[in-house]
Amino acid sequence: MKLTEIKELLDAEVITGANRLEDDFQEVCSADLMSDVLAFATPGTILVTGLTNVQSVITAHVAEVGAIIYIRGKHPEEDAIKLAKQKNLPLLASPLSMFEACGRLYAKGLKSGSNTPK
Amino acid sequence: MEDEVLFFQEFSIMGKDFSNAGTVSTQIKAILKEIGFDPVIVRRAAIAAYEAEMNVVMYADRGVVRLRVTPHKINIELEDEGQGIEDIELAMQEGYSTATPEMREMGFGAGMGLPNIKRNSDEFEITSERGKGTRLNIVINAR
Ligand SMILES: Nc1ncnc2c1ncn2[C@@H]1O[C@H](COP(=O)(O)OP(=O)(O)O)[C@@H](O)[C@H]1O
Ligand SMILES: [Mg+2]
């Protein structure tokens, strides 16, 4: 699913990465614990999170997460936005809850971007 | 010339310096990518380095990171001065953590760091002396 469609689906605002709205994503991982992302996220996944600090962007960069969606109307902190711009990482902010955001993505056929043992 | 060092750099980390936490690993990632390692290898090295760097920031006073690259291996050595780890076997267990609520709020402190560093390494050594510091030696083989 293209990032532009995901933006519409989640009523999201694009904070950075407006040049990457045509990027296609198949997987989603949701976590507030960055160690979970570092341990289980698959490269290229979308990360849905409520963690808005710079660590969210560093983690995404290190783990090769393709885009971050912040939920519940939270906005990433200034240094997070700055680093995301440098790394050309798309950041979106959605007013939806974690459940609602992930539920909508799941219903559209996106798959788990998390390698946790079944 | 198996062990010819292609690249060496030393970095320093300050304990409790949360605003710069992650900068060393980000640099290491950029260097390894630039050298031209397989992206899977670069990702593993960056993940291991980042968890290890966060541990120095969270639990130690100061540390150094030495990145040594040979044609066959990426070696990341971290040496810190600080409280050290009393029981390494316990610290290596998934879920064991002495992180504070502040650290948890930053997204760390799930007790997954050391096990994940080990999982991403081909060779992994950890030694520690209580009240002195901790040393990690991480080796990732280039394929
Ligand atoms: N460099 C270090 N110096 C002192 N203690 C450490 C260090 N690294 C890890 N520890 C101890 O080991 C525990 C487990 O570490 P880790 O697996 O990374 O989990 P977490 O950082 O989430 O607590 C930490 O909570 C801490 O008590
Ligand atoms: Mg840790």
Write out pLDDT tens, residues B18-68: 999 999 999 999 999 999 999 999 999 999 999 999 999 999 999 999 999
The helix/strand/coil state of B86 is coil
d(CA B25, CA A29): 22
| Domain map (residue ranges) of chain A | 3-110
SS (H, E, C) A74-102: CCCCHHHHHHHHHHCCCEEECCCCHHHHH
pLDDT of residue A64 exceeding 80? yes
Verify whether ligand 1 is closer than 6 Å to residue B85 (CB atom): yes
Contacts of B50 in chain A (CB under 8 A): 38, 58-59, 62
Are A37 and A59 in contact by the 8 Å Cβ rule? The answer is: yes
Spatial neighbors of B125 by CB under 8 A, at least 6 apart, are B135, B136, B137
Q: How confident is the model at residue A57 (pLDDT cuts 50, 70, 90)?
A: very high
Q: Give the pLDDT band (50/70/90) at residue A68.
A: very high
The per-residue pLDDT for range B100-136, each reduced to its tens digit, is: 998 998 899 999 999 999 999 999 999 999 999 999 9
Domain that holds residue B68: 7-141
CATH number reported for the structural domain that contains residue B54 in this entry: 3.30.565.10
In this structure, what DSSP letter does residue B132 have? Answer: T
Mean per-residue pLDDT of chain A: 97
Architecture of domain A3-110: 3-Layer(aba) Sandwich (3.40)
Instruction: Give a yes or no: residue B1 inside a domain.
Output: no
Residue B2 domain-assigned (yes or no): no
CA end-to-end span of chain A, whole Å?
25
Q: Do A43 and B43 touch (CB under 8 A)?
A: yes
Interaxial angle between packed helices A54-63 and B23-35, expressed in degrees from 0 to 180 and rounded to the nearest 10: 20
How far apart, in whole angstroms, are the C-alpha atoms of residue B1 and residue A54? 41
**Phi, psi dihedral angles at A17 (to 5 degrees):** 85, 30
Query: What distance in angstroms lies between residue B85's CA and the mean position of ligand 1's atoms?
Result: 8
Alpha-carbon distance of B51 to B117, in angstroms, equals: 7
Ligand 1 atom at shortest distance from the alpha carbon of B96: 14
Q: Which atom of ligand 1 is nearest to the CA of A35?
A: 22
Number of domains chain B contains: 1
pLDDT confidence tier of residue A92, bands split at 50, 70 and 90: very high
Examine residue B116 and state whether it is found in any structural domain, yes or no: yes
Cβ(B120) – ligand 1 distance below 6 Å: no
pLDDT of residue B143: 76
Residue of B136, B143, B120, B134 whose CA lies nearest to B15: B134
pLDDT (0 to 100) of residue B3: 81
Question: Is the pLDDT reported for residue A116 higher than 80?
Answer: no
Q: What is the pLDDT of residue B2?
A: 62
- Residue A117 pLDDT more than 80? no
